[in-house]
Structure 1
């Protein structure tokens, strides 16, 4: 739905009821039309003056920004022309070093206040009809709500935006909590797997040691018996 910022009044030149005492209706309609044309020209001149005033303010702001930019360019050109690479030695680290330029950021606040309304919009707002006095019924309500807010509520969209922001914040908090719990559970699972793996490794080593010991024990005894027999044989030969 378009919002008309400047409306030329009156829009209808001849939509006027004629009194019954008028004898020449054509002449009366002509005079009324001419008078409404003059009123339209007056309204047009008023809005033209307001429009050129806004253009002047925008041009002044743009000129200020251009002048500020030109001053910065002049300072930079002076620094570049005065720079002598023969006198000032630059290291390799300084050549490869890059510094990002950061300009001063000016944030605009409170853009949609009543004082920031353009003059035509302010006049249109003042021509609007006042809401009905429903606040007189507020003391008789049991829920404690204002009666006028059921007819018009200027803070409705702000409250809706605030609820959405709070809900998004709560959802992000829950998501971080889930990720934290998931991370702790994954860490515990890894610890359990590592402990299970080490325990299984110890069991396998014990079983393997038992197999090796059970296999090599008879062989070791046999070797000891053979060495003992050889020693006895040598003893008998010496005697």
Structure 2
């Protein structure tokens, strides 16, 4: 089971109590409007929470991509050096070992 890294709050948008702990009503008139206003304000809070989490995700992603950029630049530099060595390499200038000739003679004589 994966670990939860980020949680969007509030979870329940319309869960509000129109009565206090003693049981008396907090809102005396237009309860539907009070619930609607509370739901709308909780939705705005949830969107704000989502925006903060998105900013966190994108900043983390940016730092990871900067690391990838640095590693790819280092790899590109190494590949450039290897490419230069390969282009300078001339196989005609490399001497052939005499070991191959000696083993051929030993096989024929053996």
Q: TM-score, normalised by structure 1?
A: 0.37
Alignment correspondent of 2:55: 49
| Cα drift, residue 87 of structure 1 | 2.8
Alignment correspondent of 2:78: 72
1:18 aligns with 2:18: yes
Root mean square deviation, CA, Å: 1.7
Q: C-alpha offsets along residues 119-139 of structure 1, whole Å, 9 cap, x if unaligned? A: xxxxxxxxxxxxxxxxxxxxx
1:38 aligns with 2:44: yes
How many Å separate the matches in 2 of 1:15 and 1:92? 89
| Cα drift, residue 92 of structure 1 | 6.3
How many Å separate the matches in 2 of 1:7 and 1:37? 15
Q: C-alpha offsets along residues 53-86 of structure 1, whole Å, 9 cap, x if unaligned? A: 1111111111111111111111001001011222
| Cα drift, residue 90 of structure 1 | 4.9
> 1:90/1:31 Cα in 2 relative to 1: closer, same or farther (>3 Å)?
farther
Which structure carries more relative contact order (alpha carbon 8 Å, separation 6+)? 2
How many Å separate the matches in 1 of 2:5 and 2:32? 35
Pick one of 73, 91, 95 that aligns with 1:89: 95
> 1:45/1:69 Cα in 2 relative to 1: closer, same or farther (>3 Å)?
same
How many Å separate the matches in 2 of 1:51 and 1:28? 34
Give the SS at the match of 2:93: coil
> 1:75/1:21 Cα in 2 relative to 1: closer, same or farther (>3 Å)?
closer
Rg larger in structure: 1
> 1:52/1:92 Cα in 2 relative to 1: closer, same or farther (>3 Å)?
farther
Structure 1 gaps, min length 5: 94-239
Structure 2 gaps, min length 5: 20-24, 100-110
